[in-house]
Amino acid sequence: MSSLQETRPSFISEGGTDYFTDKLSAELRVAIYTFLSSDSAYAKRSHERSNKQSVTAILATNRKLYTEAVDTFYKTEILRLSVEQLRDCLKCQDFRTQARHVQIVELRRDVAHARLHASLSDLLSLPQIKKVEMLSDSLAAPTAGSTSELAYHYPATVREVVSRWRLGQVTCVDIGRYQLNGDFASVEIIHSGIMRLWPHVASTPEAYDALQETKRIRDEWQLGGSATNVAGWIGRTSLRLWVGLLQVYWDRFQGKVSLSAEDYQMMNHFVLT
């Protein structure tokens, strides 16, 4: 009981739940629940402390507050779960009746494709579910038979993930966003990092010179010569710069621009890395 009291929001601990429910209108209480949920765009099932502690703490205060707050929680939160956590949540009645937006953020290499398919099918059948997404920047697809822990952490392309877990065909529908076909056509695979950063790329000025930017960083940081993979390394410091360097290489490939021998060597290393 003491641990619950420690995690209660201050306005519950100081005034008591009777004051909170009797003195505040239902509309104001819902506004408070919504405010607590707005600290972050998503919630994840974890034993670690996070900035979602207030809203989950109020759910643990008592049954009355739980009943009031849980609907707001599911309406406003994106639930980020591993496949194993999703299987546990699917056993919870509140989750089954109220879950709306779920993102799968971890897919362990030992999860059988049949188990994943069953979990996705069950999730898509829930009455309130609006959106199911898999975050490709959190997934990995190890080679068959691999026992290395590094294989689990090694990033994979969307098509590698889809192939490994037999999810059918996939179509790229937008920058960083993919749509599955067939039985899981309602499931999207997204790269949240690219989607978050792409507006900066889209707003790149016409006069932006990615090659000159790379040289400037190389000189300012006193990095190695062009014979190293310096361009590849620098390109990872900015999505705008990385896309710009790809455009430079593509323009050179199509004969639209000419590069000096040094620049050409540097761009070749960029593509190779």
Residue 184 is predicted with a pLDDT of 95
Domain residue ranges in the chain: 1-76, 77-201, 204-272
Report the chain's mean pLDDT, rounded to a whole number. 79
Q: Which two tokens mark 71?
A: 């609907």
pLDDT of 88 strictly over 90: yes
Span of 61-70, 76-85, 167-176, 214-223 with lowest mean pLDDT:
61-70
Q: Is the pLDDT of residue 48 over 60?
A: no
123: CB partners within 8 A, 6+ apart: 86, 90, 99, 102, 129, 132
Contact 142, 152 (CB under 8 A): yes
Q: What confidence score (pLDDT) does residue 47 get? A: 37
**CA pseudo-torsion sign 32, 36, 40, 44:** negative
Instruction: Specify the DSSP class assigned to residue 182.
Output: G
Instruction: Report the SS3 class of residue 132.
Output: strand
pLDDT bucket at 147, cuts 50 / 70 / 90: very low
20 versus 181: which is more confidently predicted?
Answer: 181
pLDDT tens readout for residues 101-113: 999 988 777 788 9
Instruction: Tell me 138's DSSP state.
Output: G
Instruction: Say how many CA atoms lie within 13 Å of 217 toward its Cβ.
Output: 16
Which range has the top average pLDDT, 1-10, 171-180, 230-239?
171-180
Q: Please, which pLDDT band fits residue 51 given cuts at 50, 70 and 90?
A: very low
Q: What does the pLDDT average to over 118-138?
A: 93
**What confidence tier does 168 reach under pLDDT thresholds 50, 70, 90?**
very high
Look at residue 228 and tell me whether its pLDDT is greater than 80. Answer: no
Residue 156 per-residue DSSP state:
-
The span from the CA of 207 to the CA of 197, in Å, is: 20
Lowest mean pLDDT among 105-114, 148-157, 231-240, 245-254: 148-157
How far lies 170's CA from each of 38, 48, 103, 111, in Å?
33, 34, 17, 20
pLDDT score of 104: 92
* 158 residue type, one letter: V
- If you ran DSSP here, which 8-state letter would residue 24 be given? S
**pLDDT bracket for residue 118 (50, 70, 90):** very high
The two structure tokens encoding residue 77: 């939160």
Q: Spell 163-201 as b/e; 16+ CB within 10 A means b.
A: ebbebeebeeeeebbbbbeeebeebbbbbbeeeebbeeb
Residue 194 has pLDDT above 50, yes or no: yes
